[in-house]
Structure formats: C-alpha cells, structure tokens
C-alpha cells in the first residue's frame, strides 16, 4: 500500500521503502519519515552575506549546514553534487540537533550568531530543521533558511515562528518556467507571502540566459514583490555554466545591470551577485 508524502506540492505516492523525488524522504511502515535526518554533508562558518543575506546582522558569521536532497531539479544547479544525491551517492556524518546547536554555541567567540540551513534544500529535512531551530531558540541562537520555498503551507506555518531569517529563491515568474525546473510558482509565492512580516526575508533570482532574463518577467516579479513590501531585498545573481547547462554562456553583466534598473523602479534594495 502506498503512502503520500504531503510535505511539498509534488505529493509523491511511495511504496514501502521507496524514496521520494527529493531522495531525502522515505516510506517506512506506511509512515513518511525524513531519511536524511541529522545527515550532514557540508558544514562551515560563513559570513552571513554569503547566504546571501545583506540586511540581517551584517558582518556576522553563521554556522552553515547542508544535507542531501532537493524537491526541484534545476538544470543549472550550483550544488548538484548534494542536491540531487541520496544516502548512497554522497558522504555524510550523523549530527544530532543537540550536537549541532552546541557546536553553533561554541562558535560565538568567532562572531557566530546561529545556524543556517543551506547548500541543499533544507525543507526536505523539515523535521531536523524544526528540532534544531527549537533548541537554537532556547539558546538565543538565530536560525536561517536558504530555500526554494517549495513547501506546503501547514509545514511552513509550523516553522515560521522558529525561523529568524530566510533567503528564498524566486527562480522565475512564470508557471512554465517553474514547471521546467520541477517546481510550482504559486506554492513559492505563498511561501514568500506567508513569511513577509514574520521573519527577516530576502529573495534571490539567478538570471539564466533565455530562461528568466526577459524584461517583462522581471517587471511583473518586482511588481508582485513590491505589493508585499518594496523593502524586501532582491538579489540578482549571474549564472555560470553548471550541471546540465555546461554549454550555455554565462549571463552577460549588461543583462544583470539592465534587470537591476527595472527592479529598482519597484524595490528599495536590489543587490547584484556573481559579477
């Protein structure tokens, strides 16, 4: 008998022992469990600006942690080695929430303010993020998410009180664009709208040639963001060849600058990345 994983809009219907599309969630005994719980593939003390968060505790460091798995499949993924990995194709170490929070606490003298869940898609490991964030709050440490926003509302609503800041990818502003990446635009828009005013929020769009670099699409995206708040920072990042898009040229700097001028017609804070 199959069981549906209802964490994200994919709604994977899984047989016993079967992994979901994300490769991080599995059906065990008719219950969907987080197989990558506590499985850490990457950990580093990073400047907060690398998340990127430009307007949340600038100058601070944050302990950045990644696992494996993702519920989207972007052809240009910058972290494909872990995002499209499973437990057998990448090296990982088990770290408990208590161990991770204690490690973050120990880094306070180095300017650490908390934990950032990043590198792969953290929300496919919802339970681990929730448990760590709960402990972090008890220790007065901040919790940051770097996410694609592909999560169903009831799970997101559970996390929001525990999250201090997030950078959410707005990968395109058409449903066809999101469909090409294995995602859903309306779900991501709902995630962003729900977070606004309830945590520090910044957005990132990686500008990919002939995919999401049209002026009219940028204008519509920024009109929508501004309808939530014109003070939401937007990061426009330059694409470089990666993953299944090795043959595509890097985004021209002029394209990023042109789209930034459009964005600044609507938004107070527009930052350029990877230039």
**Domains identified in the chain and CATH numbers:** 3-273 (3.20.20.70)
Structure tokens at 140: 């007065």
pLDDT in tens, the chain (275 residues): 899 999 999 999 999 999 999 999 999 999 999 999 999 999 999 999 999 999 999 999 999 999 999 999 999 998 899 999 999 999 999 999 999 999 999 999 999 999 999 999 999 999 999 999 999 999 999 999 999 999 999 999 999 999 999 999 999 999 999 999 999 999 999 999 999 999 999 999 999 999 999 999 999 999 999 999 999 999 999 999 888 888 899 999 999 999 999 999 999 999 999 98
The answer to whether the beta carbons of residues 94 and 122 sit under 8 Å apart is no
pLDDT at 242: 86
pTM: 0.97
Strands (E), 2-119: 3-4, 13-14, 25-28, 31-34, 39-40, 42-47, 61-66, 93-94, 112-117
Taking CA atoms, 132 is separated from 47, 89, 129, in Å, by 20, 25, 5
> What single string gives the DSSP state of each residue in 170-208?
---SSHHHHHHTT--HHHHHHHHHHHBTTBEEEEEEEE-
Q: For residue 166, which phi and psi values (nearest 5 degrees)?
A: -145, 145
């Amino acid at each position: 008998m199959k069981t549906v994983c209802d964490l994200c809009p994919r709604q994977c219907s899984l047989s016993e022992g079967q992994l979901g599309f994300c490769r991080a969630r599995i059906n065990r005994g008719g219950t969907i469990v987080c197989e990558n719980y506590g499985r850490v593939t990457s950990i580093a003390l990073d400047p907060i600006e690398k998340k990127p968060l430009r307007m949340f505790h600038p100058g601070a460091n944050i302990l950045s942690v990644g696992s494996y798995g993702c519920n989207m499949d972007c052809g240009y993924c910058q972290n494909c080695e872990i995002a499209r990995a499973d437990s057998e194709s990448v090296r990982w170490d088990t770290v408990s929430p208590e161990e991770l929070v204690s490690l973050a606490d120990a880094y306070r003298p180095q300017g650490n303010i908390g934990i950032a869940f990043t590198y792969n898609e953290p929300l496919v490991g919802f339970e681990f993020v929730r448990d760590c964030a709960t402990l972090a709050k008890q220790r007065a440490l901040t919790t940051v998410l770097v996410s694609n926003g592909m999560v169903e509302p009831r799970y997101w609503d559970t996390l929001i009180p525990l999250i201090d800041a997030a950078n959410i990818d707005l990968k395109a502003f058409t449903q066809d664009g999101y469909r090409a990446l294995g995602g859903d635009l309306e779900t991501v828009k709902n995630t962003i709208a729900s977070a606004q005013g309830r945590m520090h929020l910044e957005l990132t769009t990686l500008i990919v040639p002939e995919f999401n670099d049209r002026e009219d699409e940028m204008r519509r995206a920024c009109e929508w963001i501004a309808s939530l708040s014109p003070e939401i920072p937007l990061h426009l990042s330059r694409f470089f060849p990666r993953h299944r898009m090795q043959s595509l040229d890097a985004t021209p700097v002029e394209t990023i600058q042109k789209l930034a001028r459009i964005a600044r017609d609507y938004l107070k804070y527009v930052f350029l990345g990877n230039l």
